[in-house]
Amino acid sequence: MNQGFIPTSEAVYKLIQEFNKLPGIGPKSAQRLTYYLLRAPDEQARLLAEALLSLKQETRLCSICFNVTDSDPCLICSRQERDRSKICVVEQPQDILAIEHTKAYNGLYHVLHGAISPTEGVGADDVRIKELMERLQGGAVDEVVLATNPNLEGEQTAMYLSKLISPLGIRVTRLARGLPFGTELEYADDVTLTRAIEGRQEF
Q: Per the structure, how many domains does the chain have? A: 2
Overall average pLDDT of the 120-127 stretch: 95
User: Quick one: 164 and 83 in the same domain?
Assistant: yes
Q: Per-residue pLDDT tens for 38-93?
A: 999 999 999 999 999 999 999 999 999 999 999 999 999 999 999 999 999 999 99
Handedness of CA 56, 95, 135, 163 (dihedral sign): negative
Name the band, by pLDDT with cuts 50, 70 and 90, for residue 2: very low
Host domain of residue 103: 68-202
Angle, in degrees to the nearest 10, between helices 27-39 and 10-20:
130
User: Quick one: 24 and 102 in the same domain?
Assistant: no
Is the pTM for the entire model greater than 0.85?
no
* CATH number, residue 35: 1.10.8.420
Q: Per-residue pLDDT tens for 138-156?
A: 889 999 999 999 888 999 9
User: Quick one: 81 and 169 in the same domain?
Assistant: yes
User: Quick one: 101 and 143 in the same domain?
Assistant: yes
Q: Per-residue pLDDT tens for 10-33?
A: 999 999 999 999 999 999 999 999
User: Quick one: 98 and 34 in the same domain?
Assistant: no
* CATH number, residue 179: 3.40.1360.10
pLDDT over threshold 60, residue 189: yes
Q: Would you say 197 and 105 are in contact if contact means Cβ atoms under 8 Å apart?
A: yes
User: Quick one: 79 and 119 in the same domain?
Assistant: yes
Domain contains 5: no
Spatial distance between the Cα atoms of 173 and 167, rounded to a whole number of angstroms: 14
User: Quick one: 53 and 82 in the same domain?
Assistant: no
